[in-house]
Chains A and B, each alone.
Chain A
Amino acid sequence: MPLPPLVEPGPALSRAETDRLSRHILLPQLGEIGQRRLRGATVAMVGAGGLGSPALMYLAAAGIGTLRIIDHDVVERSNLHRQIAHGVSDLGRPKVDSAAATLWELAPDLTVDRRNEQLTAYNADDLLRGADVVLDGTDTFATRYVVDDACARLGLPLVWGSVLRFDAQVSVFWASPPQGRDPVRLRTLFPHEPGEGEIPSCAEAGVLGALCGQVGAVMAHETIKLIAGIGEPLLGRVLVLDALNARWSEVPLRSGSTTGSPDERGLSVDVNASSDTEPTLGAPGRPESPPLARLTPAELDRRLTERRHRRDDFILLDVREPEEYMRSSIPGSRLVPLARALTEAGRAEIGETPEVIAYCALGPRAEQAATDLAAHGYAVTVLEGGIAAWESR
């Protein structure tokens, strides 16, 4: 099940952005709203090296609003076989500057927040604060545990990848996840920080360059999923890649403590109970109204896809207020606030359609609009649980 989106939608996209990101916007799970969430996001990338290069490039290309790059290294020739954000003309240049130039080529509207500093236990909180999500692509255990601790303190999700030789591990850690999810972090997977020199580094043992591309790309799409609140995040699972044998494995990861707070479980029971017991007939006082049809967010999702392929036809009607609609809406919906939807003028705006699917924040306003529209001859379906249910589907 997806987690709630990390980021509220940013302002509307420009024409150029819409063109550039059109193949993203086509994805029903992401859509224009998801794209605006990416636009509104600040992502901190620790390390602009082997993992940072592909992750940053895909995130920039994906339309992330602000990328904060934290790295104090300069580009060296031995970096170039895997750190593809940098080229030969960048040798000796700070990696944050070299990476920024590459990223602006991909996404001219991107804000790059360059931090040419070494992340330490002393400045980690300051460097990461304000980000919506943090990615770790650093190359020492010491820094990785500092990042893990800082993210836990700041309550930030941490998209974590690591490579050596032909092997890689990638996961999402979150010490304070929503929805009663099990909190897991680097210290859950590897409780004790290995001593210096105990395990070889890439500089000592080598690393297959292209391996970084796969892992950085996984880090990028896990970040996108968290920001937009789509799909099943890589939280509580570690993907392990064995490139030499071309094998991805999934290793489960749990904290070992009891998962799910009682509150959370209680809440989900309440939600089900209320949708079961909520009256499905028209509003009180209109007992003659026919029962309203209802659909779940998943069904709406499927029908929106069908509609895009012109295999379904309906109007998705948002009956909330314009401020609410601006904050977030379901892609492909039309705004006619409740008060207006109950008038002749409102019905003229809706026009002729085989079916109206109505939604509001939670359901009551959509019920009211639907009952009235049904009385005027419309076939109406109400989205169960409103946009709240849609966004946590």
Chain B
Amino acid sequence: MTEVRYFAAAAEAAGRHGESLAANTIGELRALMVERHGEPLERVLTRCSLLVDGVVAENDTALEETDVVDVLPPFAGG
């Protein structure tokens, strides 16, 4: 299972701060997240960085059992 941590608008859209999901790639993980949490999270996800072990991942990035994926939305307020 991959550990997912949601932050800011992503946490709000998912209704949680984290969960464990089984996926082989970031693409699969995205699909699973959207399936579970619907359109609000899908909208936020399009602009989020998904970091696997600190590195921004693409849809074809492979996931290991022990990976932590951080879902971080950008914002620019100062």
Complex: A97 Cα to B17 Cα, angstroms: 42
Q: Which of B34-72 contact A (CB under 8 A)?
A: 47, 49, 51, 53-56, 70, 72
Complex: A139 Cα to B77 Cα, angstroms: 4
Whole-angstrom distance from the CB of A143 to the nearest CB of chain B? 8
A188 within 8 A of B: yes
Complex: A194 Cα to B51 Cα, angstroms: 17
A140, B76: Cβ atoms closer than 8 Å: yes
Instruction: Decide: A188 near B56, CB < 8 A? Known: A194-B47, A242-B7, A252-B51.
Output: yes
Whole-angstrom distance from the CB of A191 to the nearest CB of chain B? 6
B75, A137: Cβ atoms closer than 8 Å: no
B74 within 8 A of A: yes
- Inside 8 A of A249's CB, which chain B residues have their CB? 5, 7
A251, B8: Cβ atoms closer than 8 Å: no
Q: How many A-B residue pairs have CB under 8 A?
A: 94
A251, B75: Cβ atoms closer than 8 Å: no
User: Which among A137, A190, A202, A252 has the greatest number of chain B C-beta atoms within 10 A?
Assistant: A190
Q: Which of B47, B54, B55, B70 contacts A199 (CB 8 A)?
A: B47
- Inside 8 A of B53's CB, which chain A residues have their CB? 252, 254
Complex: A169 Cα to B7 Cα, angstroms: 10
- Inside 8 A of B76's CB, which chain A residues have their CB? 138-141, 144, 162, 164, 194, 199, 201
Instruction: Decide: A199 near B8, CB < 8 A? Known: A190-B49, A254-B54.
Output: no
Complex: A254 Cα to B53 Cα, angstroms: 8
- Inside 8 A of A207's CB, which chain B residues have their CB? 77
A202, B47: Cβ atoms closer than 8 Å: no
A138, B78: Cβ atoms closer than 8 Å: yes
Q: Which A-chain residue is minimally distant from B47 (CB atoms)?
A: A194
Complex: A319 Cα to B51 Cα, angstroms: 50
User: Which among A47, A136, A169, A198 has the greatest number of chain B C-beta atoms within 10 A?
Assistant: A169
Complex: A247 Cα to B5 Cα, angstroms: 13
Q: Which B-chain residue is minimally distant from A50 (CB atoms)?
A: B78
A256 within 8 A of B: yes
A238 within 8 A of B: yes
B55, A189: Cβ atoms closer than 8 Å: no
Complex: A5 Cα to B9 Cα, angstroms: 37
- Inside 8 A of A50's CB, which chain B residues have their CB? 77-78
Complex: A164 Cα to B17 Cα, angstroms: 17
- Inside 8 A of A191's CB, which chain B residues have their CB? 49, 56
Whole-angstrom distance from the CB of B65 to the nearest CB of chain A? 18
A199, B75: Cβ atoms closer than 8 Å: yes
Q: Which of A227-257 contact B (CB under 8 A)?
A: 236, 238, 240, 242, 245, 247, 249, 251-256
B56, A189: Cβ atoms closer than 8 Å: yes
Q: Which of A90-149 contact B (CB under 8 A)?
A: 136-141, 144
Q: Which B-chain residue is minimally distant from A236 (CB atoms)?
A: B54
A337 within 8 A of B: no
A163 within 8 A of B: yes
Complex: A252 Cα to B54 Cα, angstroms: 4
Whole-angstrom distance from the CB of A261 to the nearest CB of chain B? 19
- Inside 8 A of A238's CB, which chain B residues have their CB? 72
A49 within 8 A of B: yes
A251, B70: Cβ atoms closer than 8 Å: yes
- Inside 8 A of B33's CB, which chain A residues have their CB? none
B51, A47: Cβ atoms closer than 8 Å: no
A52 within 8 A of B: yes
User: Which among B9, B70, B73, B74 has the greatest number of chain A C-beta atoms within 10 A?
Assistant: B74
- Inside 8 A of A251's CB, which chain B residues have their CB? 5, 7, 51, 54, 70, 72
B11 within 8 A of A: yes
What 1/0 mask marks residues of chain B from 4 to 35 whose CB sits below 8 Å from any chain A CB? 01011101000001000000000000000000
Complex: A360 Cα to B21 Cα, angstroms: 57
Q: Which of B11, B56, B72 contacts A169 (CB 8 A)?
A: B72
Complex: A199 Cα to B73 Cα, angstroms: 9
A161 within 8 A of B: yes
Interface residues of B (CB under 8 A from A): 5, 7-9, 11, 17, 47, 49, 51, 53-56, 70, 72-78
Other A-B contacts than A164-B77, A199-B47, A251-B7, 11 sampled, CB-CB below 8 A, are: A50-B78, A140-B76, A169-B72, A189-B49, A194-B74, A240-B7, A242-B8, A245-B17, A251-B54, A254-B55, A256-B56
